[in-house]
Structure 1
């Protein structure tokens, strides 16, 4: 199993972190984020191309309001292409700026 590092841009820059038991054993002891972040827009076609090319069938989007707004956009493109992948949003924000969580 792996996670994409560097936010949405990590999908098309091929940034990943392999999740091993060794990594998982200490992850909760570190401050900040090991997966990194990014600001700004994302390239939906490149992200979905990466999901398809890597054979990813589950995408967990972790972040605040702006990040969560990208999840349904990506899901709609996955669906439009007829790919078999799901997208789930996981709220992670210090701003408490997600008023409602919607399930696709």
Structure 2
């Protein structure tokens, strides 16, 4: 996360808002850390804030994550999707902004 804060303009501020909103909504610090780590990885991959990405960029990224995962639970993929959904919600962006897939419960 530190690298994303240093390299991506506006990421520190986005992360501060994200932490505040997660806390206000009663989620744990661990939830914030998990979601933030995955959101930061996406930001570093594109060199941009995840909230500013084109939907096709996000789809390509999620597809890439699915292809490289050997785990049946695809936990990395799930944390990325859940973290991004939560970020969009806390930034008052619509859910369909990035057309995130539903993830079936195991």
TM range (shorter): 0.3 to 0.5
TM-score, structure 2 length as denominator? 0.32
Structure number with greater CO (CA < 8 Å, separation at least 6) is 2
TM-score, structure 1 length as denominator? 0.33
Higher strand share: 1
**Bigger-Rg structure (1/2):** 1
Higher helix share: 2
